[in-house]
Amino acid sequence: MAQSDTVTRILDTAEVLFAERGFAETSLRNITSKARVNLAAVNYHFGSKKALIQAVFSRYLDPFTQRFHTALDELEAQHEGRVIPLETLLETMATTVLAVPAERNSLKVFMRLLGLAYSQAQGHLRRHIQQEYGDVFTRFTELVRQATPDLPDAERFWRLHFMLGTVIFTLSGLDALRDIAEKDYHEQVTVRDLVRRLRPVVVAAMNAPLPPALEEGKYANAQAS
């Protein structure tokens, strides 16, 4: 009880502050004082600030990974070896991402954290994530490959990352963008709203015509539709 309480309070506070200000701008003092916990507790329970950062991510990514694997298992079972359509795959991923933090009403925090993981200079974090959670991403990528057999491998790689950028950038900067949108268009934007808007865009982007081929390494307008 006592332990769980302290550890949980630290994690809850840390994820919010990290999401708000980033890792470097959030001191252990900020976290522990807001969590009303002894300053040394972070080091006692987690060992270091780096380990705390990783723990914050694991609390989201562990259940996500598990659910996503399960969801993909089900999909594969349903399709009995047939190719799973791209839209189904994207839908499944979106659903799983949304499901994880649903109970804690903290999708925004999760997305901010993901964005930070990419943009902030935390090599240890990127390594940790790649190492712990790379498998499920590889599995997903392979299914996408089967769903888009006409796309050259390199093109698919880049388009997936284009879309990753779209999603992470949008969702992690959600607050600022939402403010503007509300001011200018009088919209109350929810995350589900955004997902609804994202779906056709992502599908269209993945299915866009191929770019003109390169001409002997340089650029020509020959097109390989």
Binding of residue 99 to its own copies (CB under 8 A): no
Could you give the CA distance from residue 11 to residue 109 in angstroms, rounded to a whole number? 12
Cα(64)–Cα(51) distance, rounded to whole angstroms? 19
Residue 51, burial from CB neighbour count under 10 angstroms (0-12, 13-18, 19+): middle
Reduced to 3 states, what is the DSSP secondary structure of residue 95? helix
Cα 127 from Cα 139, distance rounded (Å): 18
CA dihedral 197, 203, 209, 215 (to 10 degrees): 100
Tell me which H or E stretch contains 220: none
- Residue 41 in contact with DNA, rule: CB under 7 A: yes
Among the listed ranges 30-38, 141-149, 180-188, 195-203, the one in contact with DNA (CB under 7 A) is 30-38
Among 15, 20, 34, 42, the residue binding DNA under the rule CB under 7 A is 42
**Which of 30, 43, 88, 170: binder of its own copies (CB under 8 A)?**
170
Is 39 a residue that touches DNA (CB under 7 A)?
yes
| Residue 44 binding partner per list DNA, its own copies, none, with a CB distance cut-off of 5 to 8 Å that depends on partner kind | DNA
Interacting positions 44-83 with DNA (CB under 7 A) = 44-45, 47-50
- Interacting residues with its own copies (CB under 8 A): 20-22, 24-25, 115-116, 118-121, 126, 153-155, 157-159, 161-170, 172-173, 176-177, 180-181, 184-185, 187, 192-194, 196-205, 207-212, 214, 219, 221
